[in-house]
Amino acid sequence: MSVLIKGGRVVTAADDYVADVFVDGERISLIGESLDVAADHVIDATGKYVLPGCIDPHTHLDMPFGGTVTIDDVTSGHTAAAFGGTTCHVDFVIQTPGESFGAALEAWHAKRDGKAIIDNGYHMAVTDLKEGGSLEELASLPDQGVTSYKLFMAYKGALMVDDETLFKTMEVAAETGALVMVHAENGDVIDVLVKKALAAGHTEPHWHALTRPPETEGEATNRAIQLARVAGCPLYVVHVSCRESVEPIQRAREAGWDVWGETCTQYFFIDYSFLERPSFEGAKYVYTPPPRAKENQDVLWNAVRTDVLSAISTDHCAFSWAEQKAAGRDDFSKIPNGGPGIENRLQMIHEFGVRGGRISLNRMVELLATSPARLFGLYPKKGTIAIGSDADIVVFDPEKRVTISATTQKSRADYNLYEGTEVTGSPETVLVRGTVVVEGGELKVEPGFGQYVARARFGEELKSTASVEA
């Protein structure tokens, strides 16, 4: 099967030019002006952007959490992602305490088998090095393409690890060439604050934020940075939400340390006041770290513009508001933490980042595709438009007007964080490895099409031939 994408504006992290892109099989094989080639399928991209498929490095599909399971499984999550222009993501395997890493990885592969629409890889969330996985087993994961270890410094009594586990994992990463990711919040302090708030009778959703002050994020971010420095491993701080954690990342990067950070779409748009919405509506915005004071939004835009933060993910962790979030009606600490977003990242960042004059089109591509690909061992197989790369391509209509709404989304969530937001610019046609997966508002492939991607070690390149089906 061959595809010719004609006359579009090809935008990568570095370039911006009008060209034809010819896809032969799964890869891009020719890029040029007015290509004289026959193709099975021709897409007229005149007036459209031709972008690399976006990569979401932070998602939670079909994940047990907060006493329930995230509402999007692999098929619904991937469908939502594909319609939003995301062609690859890296999901978190969660090691249940006492479980081996191999068993955890197997369980996550079983969740995607026969269900995947787009491609994905896995990070390993380490929760237990005492009774569960061993250091040796942890060290073997990069050989299976799992080249990043995630540690939760919060969620005491559930996913949180102590500093010993954090540091030992960092030492393994320094040996194996894996990237360490941290959810940076001081879980011990938050636990004290939550118990105090509940004892004083404070049960409403906004207490989620009041018991997780930005200083708890700043402290944990700084601690993780310093410990990574001692261990000698590269560090990536997930879902940075506020000035208190941007600043230590900025200092580390200015010092030339191997430290990177991401923020998520929602932190640019949702502030603390959303949590105060009446009739339990605030629960829709209970995710962690919590929505912050509005002034942090400019801090984050500035950070992504200047490469203090290097990626924008979604932290897609969807629960239904009517049923799953309702578990916390009388106790904010029982509201499952997380929100949807995998579908709207490109639309929102294009509208308010690029059209809003905050970042360039090239920088948008870098933040949503190229930089995640480089950091997570997917580049140049994915994350760019180049000869030899996978033909993961979004034909994006910059003039298309869309009103974002839960009523039209593909996610199973019963709400959308950006409900009613009007954007100009939306994906029109989406290809994964040369196959059209979305066209004319329809999904064109069956579950099972998406492949597992074994990722390269941190700092190493992944070539297109390295894709394997697990």
Positions touching ligand URP (CB under 6 A) are 60, 183, 287-288, 315, 317, 337-338
The CA distance from 419 to 405, in Å, is 5
We find the least distance from the C-beta atom of residue 154 to ligand URP, in angstroms, to be 7
Strands 2-11 and 49-52: parallel
We find the least distance from the C-beta atom of residue 181 to ligand URP, in angstroms, to be 10
Considering only the stretches 175-183, 208-216, 322-330, 342-350, report the one whose residues sit in contact with Zn ion under the rule CB under 5 A. 175-183
Q: How many residues bind Zn ion (CB under 5 A)?
A: 2
Question: Which residue type does 306 have?
Answer: T
The CA distance from 60 to 55, in Å, is 14
Strand order across the beta sheet in which 119-125 lies: 54-59, 86-94, 119-125, 148-152, 179-183, 235-237, 259-264, 311-313
Residue number of the CB atom closest to Zn ion? 183
We find the least distance from the C-beta atom of residue 427 to ligand URP, in angstroms, to be 25
We find the least distance from the C-beta atom of residue 413 to Zn ion, in angstroms, to be 15
The CA distance from 180 to 162, in Å, is 15
We find the least distance from the C-beta atom of residue 252 to ligand URP, in angstroms, to be 21
DSSP 142: G
CA angle 219, 224, 225 (to 5 degrees): 100
Which of 315, 343, 351, 366 binds Zn ion (CB under 5 A)? It is 315
Among Zn ion, ligand URP, none, partner that 338 touches (CB below 5 to 8 angstroms by kind): ligand URP
Side-chain-side CA neighbours of 31 within 13 Å: the count stands at 20
We find the least distance from the C-beta atom of residue 285 to ligand URP, in angstroms, to be 10
Q: Any alpha helices (H) in 310-381, and if so which ranges? A: 345-349, 361-365, 371-375
**Residue placing its CB nearer to Zn ion in the complex, 315 or 392:** 315
Within 8 A by CB and 6+ apart from 107, the residues are: 93
**Residue placing its CB nearer to Zn ion in the complex, 318 or 462:** 318
Among Zn ion, ligand URP, none, partner that 115 touches (CB below 5 to 8 angstroms by kind): none
CB count within 10 Å of CB 2 equals 16
Least Cα distance to 151 among 172, 140, 132, 165 occurs for 165
Burial of 398 (0-12, 13-18, 19+ CB in 10 A): middle
We find the least distance from the C-beta atom of residue 448 to Zn ion, in angstroms, to be 26
We find the least distance from the C-beta atom of residue 42 to Zn ion, in angstroms, to be 40
**Residue placing its CB nearer to Zn ion in the complex, 289 or 450:** 289
We find the least distance from the C-beta atom of residue 268 to ligand URP, in angstroms, to be 15
The answer to whether 426 and 397 have CB atoms below 8 angstroms apart is yes
Considering only the stretches 18-26, 180-188, 259-267, 305-313, report the one whose residues sit in contact with Zn ion under the rule CB under 5 A. 180-188
**Residue placing its CB nearer to ligand URP in the complex, 27 or 316:** 316
Residue 262 makes contact with Zn ion by CB under 5 A: no
Considering only the stretches 218-226, 308-316, 409-417, 462-470, report the one whose residues sit in contact with Zn ion under the rule CB under 5 A. 308-316
Among Zn ion, ligand URP, none, partner that 455 touches (CB below 5 to 8 angstroms by kind): none
CA angle 186, 189, 193 (to 5 degrees): 130
- Which position has the token pair 């290509």? 35
Residue 183 makes contact with Zn ion by CB under 5 A: yes
Residue 217 makes contact with Zn ion by CB under 5 A: no
**Residue placing its CB nearer to ligand URP in the complex, 115 or 183:** 183
Residue 185 makes contact with Zn ion by CB under 5 A: no
Site residues (vs Zn ion, CB under 5 A): 183, 315
